[in-house]
Amino acid sequence: MRNLFLFFFLLLTTTLYAQQREPEKVSVILKWFYQYQFAGIIMAKEKGFYEDAGLDVEIIERDPSKNNILQVIDGEAQYGIADSSILTYRAKGHPVRIVASIFQHNAMVLIARKDSDIVSPYEMRGKRISYQEGIDDAIFSSMFDYANLEKSDFIKVPMDFSYESIINGEVDVIAAYITDQPYWIKKRGVELNVINPLSYGIDLYGDILFTTEKEIASHPKRVKKMKAATLKGWEYALAHKDETIRTIIDKYKPALTYDQLAYEAATTERLIAPKHVALGYTSKDRFRVIAGLYHDLGLSQQALDKAVEEIIYDPDAPGDTLQFYLTAFTIGGAVMFIFLLLLYLHNQQLQRQVKTRTKELEKATLRAEKAAASKAQFLANMSHEIRTPMNAILGFIEQLAKGENDPARQKQFAIVKSSGRTLLGIINDILDFSKIESGKMSIECQPALTRDLFEEITALFKEQIEEKELLLETLFAPKLPECITTDAIRVKQVVFNLLGNAVKFTPKGGRIILEVRFRPDTNILHCSVRDTGIGIHETNIAKIFKAFEQEDHTTTRKFGGTGLGLAISSKLITLMGGTLEVESNPGEGSHFYFDLPAEPCEAHAPEALTQQALSGDTALAPQGDLLVVEDNKTNQMLLGIILDEFGIAYDIANDGLEAYSAAQRKHYAMILMDENMPNMNGIDATKKIRAWEEEHHLSRVPIVAVTANALSGDRERFIDAGMDDYLAKPFSETEVMQLLQRHL
């Protein structure tokens, strides 16, 4: 765009510059051939007056076969030389203007041989007279009038420019240009009488420099310069006749001698009359008189009067000033137009840019979406890949610890187990955080037993609390609904984190209070965790909700942790429609609390019952064997050990396909189905088993997904496929037991 502006700027400036420097080409058509009659124009060119004015003037000789005035009117040249008859053109509607009247008197005269005794119009009756009709009529008709000579009173002979006719005596009277022809004829030895109209008071203008309205309108400055330079040329020509004559001879090569031109120069000066009238001056009053002559020839007085008023060019006339403004306005308009055009083009370019940028943005968004999708997939895979070996590690440690009687070794197993659990917690936190960040975390609300939800969590801290000699009080408000609809897993996760922190940051002998209330008018569940621990400094309160931030760096060294817990908790609460808040002072303990929208529900909801904690000592009495579907040999072994422990018989299927055929052969009390397996995955195997059961009108065998996939939406996928429950890897012996109790 800038380049475009620059281009136009350069174009504009170079055009203006060129207009100033490059001479403007104009042409002037003469009234006759190169001779002294046009000395002013010739010298203006030769002496560089035109050039100084920025004009390159071409001087064109008259073509006698053409009307030189009409040639200018038709645009063959911008300027021309005419005489007073130019007024008749204007009166007839041709847009001509007089720039400068050079010859104050007309040079046209009638000549007769001296021996003819014709000395005045009075002697011309019945004689043969030759002059240019339509051109020289005005001047001669007026003179004839003077002597009452009618056109029918003489014989009109066509004009003979060679003048042989007068020399030979074929005509009696012929029109001639006083400045040159008489000289030439006299040279041939013929003596002449000159009958000059001026003697009869008929005084017309001779050579006039004229132009057109168009030239004045489009180049007002040029007309002004043309006039000034031409007059300067005449001034020079009149002051330097000899140089002028030589210049004409040398440069224009007329078939004229020096003497002839000298004769012409002398007679010309008389017609220009520079001593009496300012060079180039045009008198409107004189033109009024001249208009009278033309009226006599039949032109309308009104048209002539109008022509007289309009024909004289005045460089300082307001009309031309107006023209100047008009031109300025036009130029302004053009500049404005160019500007608007540029603006339009710029706008177009912007629109194109916006389009391409939008396209690029769309592409980038698509790429980002793809990246997010592959990140989510990566998370799912990682989740699976890490949880599967963790399952084996934790499971076997549990088994190994059981057979160990040495207290020192038992302690070591306990350390490995708790380290494994911590590692699992960290992995879960990182995965959760990534899920929230990529918008993949969704909230799944199900009916849940309110008290159980919280008690399940407090139970997990039993050991730690005892160890630290802490006092944990759980206060349930009396009007707490038995069942609420909420995402129990996520609420538990938050409460687990808050209680975990409270336990972690409260020194030995401290107190922790978990309080749960419910507002039935707004259906808001209020939960708060208070401790008498180390507290948090005011300036760090905002920091602790940010990912990977802890109150200060000493915390990490002293208490450990990733700084993700509160960030995840706060985001989960926000996702569920609440806010996690804190009030704390260093040394005075901390108070974390949140309000959540939660609908009360019927306590018998089937989903809620699955959450129900069952007492550990209920005997397991399966009506039949279990089928363990698992491709991973280690996990097969682990599940086997646990089931052996419970005295439950089981078969093993290595993939979905084997599971399907096994289920057809034998009616199992329950199927533990892994999800990702070769040949046929758990979901497809479940679907096939369900279809087969339906086909044969058999009762549904409980199918429990055993999965390391814990991303949101998975649960629905399992239920949709026809599964009844799921066990997340890594699982503990207790979790397996609780699961069996639920379904057997």
- The contact set with ligand ADP (CB under 6 A) reads 497, 501-502, 505, 531, 533-536, 544, 550-551, 555, 561-567, 590
Give the residue with the Cβ less far from ligand ADP, 39 or 566.
566
Closest CB 615 distance from ligand ADP, rounded Å: 32
For the CB of residue 548, give the shortest distance to ligand ADP in the complex, in Å: 8
Q: Which is nearer to ligand ADP, 531 or 724 (CB)?
A: 531
Of the pair 557, 696, the CB lying nearest ligand ADP is at 557
470 or 502: CB nearest ligand ADP: 502
State the minimum distance, in angstroms, from the CB of residue 434 to ligand ADP.
Answer: 16
Minimum CB distance to ligand ADP smaller for 485 or for 497? 497
Are 267 and 99 spatial neighbours (Cβ–Cβ below 8 Å)? no
Determine the Cα–Cα distance for residues 625 and 645; give it in Å rounded to an integer: 14
Tokens 């008259």 found at: 62
Query: Rounded CA gap, 229 and 235, in Å?
Result: 10
Q: 166, 111 in Cβ contact below 8 A?
A: yes
Instruction: Work out how close the CB of 498 gets to ligand ADP at its nearest, in angstroms, rounded to a whole number.
Output: 7
Nearer to ligand ADP, 30 or 547 (CB): 547
Question: What's the min distance (Å) between Cβ of 557 and ligand ADP?
Answer: 11
- Shortest gap between Cβ of 476 and ligand ADP (angstroms)? 21
CB 492 to ligand ADP: min, Å? 15
In DSSP notation, 613-628 reads ---TTPPP--SS-EEE
Amino acid of residue 151:
K
Instruction: Provide the minimum distance between the beta carbon of 354 and ligand ADP in the complex, in angstroms, as a whole number.
Output: 44
Q: Can you point out the beta strands (E) in 145-186?
A: 155-157, 173-177
Strand 511-519 relative to strand 524-531, pairing: antiparallel
DSSP structure string for 420-466 = HHHHHHHHHHHHHHHHHHTT------EEEEHHHHHHHHHHHTHHHHH
Instruction: Say if residue 730 is preceded by a cis peptide, omega within 30 of 0.
Output: yes
Task: Select 533 or 702, whichever has its Cβ closest to ligand ADP.
Answer: 533
Burial label for 64, CB within 10 Å (0-12, 13-18, 19+), is exposed
Minimum CB–partner distance for residue 537 and ligand ADP (Å):
9
Residue 527 CB, nearest distance to ligand ADP (Å)? 14
User: Which residue matches tokens 């509607």?
Assistant: 93
Which residue matches tokens 């006339």?
A: 317
List the one residue out of 181, 255, 259, 204 whose CA is nearest residue 86.
204
**CA separation for the pair 738, 612 (Å, rounded):** 9
| Smallest separation, CB 538 to ligand ADP (Å) | 12
Which C-beta is closer to ligand ADP: that of 40 or that of 561? 561
578 vs 622 by CB, closer to ligand ADP: 578
Torsion of CA 593, 594, 598, 602, to 10 degrees: -10
Q: What are the E-state strand segments in 36-131?
A: 55-60, 79-82, 96-101, 108-113, 128-130
Crossing angle of the two packed helices 284-296 and 137-146, in degrees rounded to 10: 70
Count Cβ neighbours within 10 Å for each residue of 110-135 and write b for 16 or more, e otherwise: bbbbeebebeebebbeebbbbbeeeb
Side by side, the strands of the sheet bearing 626-629 are 650-653, 626-629, 670-674, 703-707, 725-728
Nearer to ligand ADP, 206 or 533 (CB): 533
Measured from the CB atom, is 111 or 564 closer to ligand ADP? 564
